[in-house]
Amino acid sequence: MFQKLFITGAGVSKDSGIPTFRGADGFWTIGSSNFTPQEMATREMYCENPAEFLLWYYKRFASYRHILPNEVHFWLADKNLITQNIDGLDGKAGNTQYISIHGRLDKVTVFQKQENMVPLHDAPWDIVANSQIDLDDDTLLKRLLLELFKIKDHPEYGHSLKPFVLLFDEYYTELYRISEAEQEMQSADSVVFMGTSFSVNITSIALRYALRNNAKIEIVDPDPVDLNISGIEYHRMTANEYISELNGA
């Protein structure tokens, strides 16, 4: 049976107004030092500097929680989809089966060892937004975030909360549905990568399956990285232009 799999990254949510991950606005300053998302979005930062981590996460991601899906998400709603995006826009567009392989910004879990399965709970972002504190006061905001995430000095296993997001120094586990994702990659005879810069592991894993299975590989990106692999079909255009072209517009 013909099985087409779409793998999406930050590029597909750009038209909804969410900046891509590696754009120029990605930096974050603590004291006099600048940190990249790759340095901020780590389990180490969450454990060692939870207040700064939560403040960054709240400002960098939680502020996008009310953003709406765009035409690309709606077009993908009935497709086999694995997304690296944590924005949840594919769910809002009606895709009920998609795998958000890096987690979801609207959920938290109890902090646990990575391999442990833990239930998902709603993230407390609205409680923060609706609180009486001055949200521009970082000191007060950090204090509130620590309280809501049940962190005293450092997060404690089984007690504190952690955003449901796969951090750069974490590995893919069943909590993030890695076996299901690999099963989809294994059964796909056509894989379309959209709006991803191929800088995280899941894209390498998907590429490896696709190459091994002789699957058709397509990349939709106005400014794609050259993977130096023969036989890949490049669509040098935005995801929106791509779906318009397919729809014959």
Which of these ranges, 9-17, 50-58, 156-164, 204-212, lies near ligand APR under the rule CB under 6 A? 9-17
Q: Does 222 bind ligand APR (CB under 6 A)?
A: yes
CB atoms under 10 Å from CB of 184, counted, come to 21
Which x/- pattern, by CB under 6 A, does the window 16-35 give for ligand APR? ----xxx-------------
Nearest to 105 by CA among 18, 201, 198, 28: 18
Query: Can you read off the two tokens belonging to residue 60?
Result: 């960098």
Nearest to 85 by CA among 196, 232, 184, 187: 196
CB of 238 to ligand APR, least distance (A): 3
- CA–CA separation, 44 and 24 (whole Å): 24
Out of 164, 195, 207, 232, name the contact with ligand APR by CB under 6 A: 195
Q: Which is nearer to ligand APR, 157 or 234 (CB)?
A: 234
- CA–CA separation, 228 and 219 (whole Å): 13
Q: Does 170 bind ligand APR (CB under 6 A)?
A: no
Q: Which is nearer to ligand APR, 93 or 239 (CB)?
A: 239
Q: How many residues bind ligand APR (CB under 6 A)?
A: 24
User: Cα–chain-centroid distance for residue 85?
Assistant: 3
Q: Does 104 bind ligand APR (CB under 6 A)?
A: no
Catalytic residue selected from 73, 102, 159, 235: 102
Nearest to 180 by CA among 79, 78, 101, 96: 101
Q: Does 14 bind ligand APR (CB under 6 A)?
A: yes
CB atoms under 10 Å from CB of 31, counted, come to 6
Query: Can you read off the two tokens belonging to residue 111?
Result: 């902090």
Q: Does 163 bind ligand APR (CB under 6 A)?
A: no
Q: Does 221 bind ligand APR (CB under 6 A)?
A: yes
Strand 161-165 and strand 121-122: the pairing is unpaired
CB of 240 to ligand APR, least distance (A): 6
154 catalytic, yes or no?
no
- CA–CA separation, 11 and 226 (whole Å): 16
Which x/- pattern, by CB under 6 A, does the window 61-100 give for ligand APR? -----------------------xx---------------
Q: Which is nearer to ligand APR, 184 or 221 (CB)?
A: 221
Which of these ranges, 63-71, 88-96, 131-139, 218-226, lies near ligand APR under the rule CB under 6 A? 218-226
Can you name the residues that pair with 29 across neighbouring β-strands?
34
Q: What are phi and psi of 83, to 5 degrees?
A: -115, 145
Determine contact, residues 26/86, Cβ cutoff 8 Å: no
User: What residues are annotated to the active site?
Assistant: 102
Binding residues for ligand APR (CB under 6 A): 9-11, 14-15, 20-22, 37, 84-85, 102, 194-197, 199-200, 220-223, 238-239
